[in-house]
A and B are shown apart, each in its own frame.
Chain A
Amino acid sequence: GAVVSQHPSWVICKSGTSVKIECRSLDFQATTMFWYRQFPKQSLMLMATSNEGSKATYEQGVEKDKFLINHASLTLSTLTVTSAHPEDSSFYICSAEGSSGGSSSYNEQFFGPGTRLTVL
C-alpha cells in the first residue's frame, strides 16, 4: 500500500521559535497533500490543501502567514509553524491523495504517522 512518512514524530520547542514538519509520499506521487490538526479528543481539522507547484488553499480561520506550506515536489510537502506559541501545541497530521487502484479506483487519502508538537 501507499506509504506516507512524517518527520519529526514529535518536537518540543520554545515559544517564539519556528518548527518545520515534513510530509513525504514514499512510493507514489501525490499532486495533492492535506494538512490536519487534531486537538485531544477532537476530530481532525483540515488546515490547508496543498497542490504541487501552486499556493496552498487555507481553511477559514487558519493564518497562512503563521502556517507556511510548501509543496515543491510531487513527494514532499512541508508545514512550518512560525513563531510558535503554546496554543499551537497539537497533533499535526498530513495526508497524500492517491488512487486506490483496481477496477473501482477512487481517490484515497493516505495518512502520515503524525507529528506531536509541544510548545513550551
Chain B
Amino acid sequence: GQNIDQPTEMTATEGAIVQINCTYQTSGFNGLFWYQQHAGEAPTFLSYNVLDGLEEKGRFSSFLSRSKGYSYLLLKELQMKDSASYLCAVMDSNYQLIWGAGTKLIIKP
C-alpha cells in the first residue's frame, strides 16, 4: 500500500530551527510537496522536490532522497506565525497526490 509518515506534533522555540521529516512508500514517484496549513484554512504551497538534494527558499528549505524515500522540511529563524500544520504529499505514478496526516508545529516564545 501507499504510505506517508510524518510526526504528529513538534514543539520549537521562536528564533530556533526545526526539521520536520517525512518518509514515504508509494507506487511510483513524480515529486514531493510540502504545504503549510493554518487552522481553519486551506493548505498553501511551500515547496516541490523531484530531484535529490536541497531546495532553499528563504527561511524554508526542503530536502529529498529518493533512494531512501525520505524528505525533510527545514524551518529557520522560527516566528510565531509559523505555528501551523505542515503536510507532506507525494505524487505517485498516476499523478495523484498521496497525503501525509500532517505535523502540527507549535512555536513557543
Write the residues of chain A forming the contact surface with B, with a CB cutoff of 8 angstroms. 34, 41-46, 49, 91, 93, 100, 104, 106-114, 116
Stretch at the interface among B20-28, B60-68, B76-84, B94-102: B94-102
B33 neighbours in A (Cβ, 8 Å): 108-109
Known: A43-B99, A44-B43, A108-B33. 7 other contacts (CB 8 A): A43-B87, A43-B102, A110-B45, A113-B41, A113-B42, A114-B40, A116-B40
Given A44-B87, A46-B97, also A108-B45 (CB < 8 A): yes
In which size bucket is the chain B interface?
20 to 34
Q: How many A-B residue pairs have CB under 8 A?
A: 45
User: Are B48 and A100 closer than 8 Å at their CB atoms?
Assistant: yes
Q: Which of B42, B43, B101 contacts A42 (CB 8 A)?
A: B101
Whether A107 contacts B87 in the complex (CB less than 8 A), given A43-B102, A116-B40, comes out as no
Q: Which residues of B contact A (CB under 8 A)?
A: 30-31, 33, 40-45, 48, 50, 87, 91, 95-97, 99-102, 104
Q: Using Cβ atoms and an 8 Å threshold, which residues of chain B touch A110?
A: 45
Q: How many angstroms from the CA of A104 to the CA of B48 in the assembled complex?
A: 11
Bound-complex Cα distance A108 to B48 (A): 9
Closest CB pairs A-B (n = 3):
A111-B42, A43-B101, A114-B42
**Min CB gap B62→A, angstroms:** 14
Q: List 12 A-B contacts (CB under 8 A).
A: A42-B101, A43-B100, A46-B97, A106-B30, A106-B31, A106-B48, A107-B95, A109-B33, A109-B97, A110-B45, A111-B43, A114-B42
- Which residues of B sit under 8 angstroms from A91, Cβ to Cβ? 40
Give CA–CA (A107, B102) in the complex, Å. Answer: 21
Contact B45 A44 (CB under 8 A): no
Shortest distance from the beta carbon of B44 to any chain A beta carbon, whole Å: 7
Who on chain B is nearest to A59 by CB? B96
A108 to B43 Cα, complex, angstroms? 12
Complex contacts, A107 vs chain B, CB 8 Å: 91, 95
